[in-house]
Structure 1
Amino acid sequence: MAFLGPNGAGKTTTTEILEGFRVRDAGEVEVLGEDPAHADRDWRERIGVVLQQCRMTPQLSVRETLDLYAGYYRDPRSVPDTIELVGLGEKAGARAGSLSGGQQRRLDVAVALIGNPELLFLDEPTTGFDPTARRQAWEVIANLRELGTTTFLTTHYMEEAQALADRAMIIARGEVVAEGRPSELGGREGDPPTLSFVLPLGLGLSDLPSRLAARARLRGGSVEAALDEPAATLHELSGWALERGIELEGLELRRPSLEDVYLRLTGQLDHDPPPGKAALG
């Protein structure tokens, strides 16, 4: 599950309530069959948590760090297996303080996994990473599926949610505005595709084929139009361009991306929430 939302939307507050680290003001919460606010040690051993910022003892090696945390659990995962799972096999003897940022984040995930949790919370695990480190972190998270571990991923990277999540939820101002499979979110699967291309010099929207001109708008020098009949419209547009010897630069037909849906849904709540809707903060 990916949990998406802009800064200040309530992602961290909600996640901390689910983890049992924050007392809620009202309402009911159930995680793995229990209320996190009143959960005991048995419940806490069933979850793993990777916070936005984790600090390991820099003098301890990767192996020593995991040996230390494994001692807190009654039935921990194998330390060597966990090290391999997160891709730190070659760094098992290296001190935590000598690891790169991406490697330290892998160690954070390893510590969260050492208790063999059923549910793993990842709070914006790749924030601040360069693209290479982010992709490497994705590989680690994707490997968790093989363990049967459910992952609750908080992120504001749309491509991260698209790559890793079976389901996604979007929150804005403390209110859930959409939930479902990433491909379906916000009615995305049924949305018409959008056609775009650079408007040829000397032409206006009224010069375009009638089927397209009725739906088109101009944005930054490019024509954009949502098409209910994409095949027929493209056929008409191609014939129109060939007759006039026009090249349609930047011609593209695409479905709304997860980012498009995210921006549309969160933009709807840029102002005050509707009456009676309390924000999580």
Structure 2
Amino acid sequence: MLSMSGFGRTGPWKDRVSYGQTLQAWSGFTDLTGFPEFKPSGPASAYSDAVGGMTGAQAVLLALIQRAQTGRGQWIDVSQMEAMSSLLGPLVLELSANNTDVQRTGNREHYGRGAPHGVYQCQGEDRWLAITVFADAEWEAFSCAVGSPEWAKDDRFSTVASRLKHADELDKLVGSWTSDQIAEDAMHLLQQAGISAGVVQTGKDMAEDDLHLRERGIFQPVPDAGGVMRTIERAPYKLTLTPGEVTKGAPEFGADQDFVLREIFGVSDEELAEMAIAGAFD
């Protein structure tokens, strides 16, 4: 049996109320999300729900292995806050080993392994490109891909260490190049050179224009209860033997009401009539 709550079933916080924003803040995620000169922003979605679900699934699998070996079941207590904070283990280690409290770094990499490492504005309204360069060989490939401009030959950017030291200046120069580029074209150009680059996609980009996702079949049109075709997102994994499929959308609110009340709860016709008269279904 799995019990999942915000803070677990024991401890002084066991009865406290929580939502995704609360858990993400208490776990440390919110403090690390955003730019150093601005207030914490936190993840854009209830990230703790997904992390908690995956943690719970892992715990259930471990318990099933134990049951297969011993024949004994067990109770599992999952704290979503602890599930979130477990992803920040290296940050706790940084504090323990180096007495360093890691701060918000915007789009830069926390551990300073490379530059450029950021999101850069491109042509058009709110169009951006994420670019990551770590090794010196990648920097050389990047420089060639963008046309070997004079600034790319500057000694300030000749090594990883020097690029990190002058990351602010480098970001401005890379941004001056991307600002003249169409995001998708720049992404393809850099990818062909072996550089990790990706367009910052909107929901519309993903659902309508992403050829890779379309080929993978991640989006599927299904009819809703009124017969109108809606686009839904399929499971993000493919099973060779049991791929599964969605044939219709969710029912309208209350569509299965009679079945649930009659077949599952055993409510009689007389009781249903009384409930309807009392306005229980309004």
Q: Report the TM-score when normalising by structure 1.
A: 0.24
More strand by share: 1
By relative contact order (CA 8 Å, sep 6+), the higher-ranking structure is 1
Q: Name which one, 1 or 2, has greater alpha-carbon Rg.
A: 2
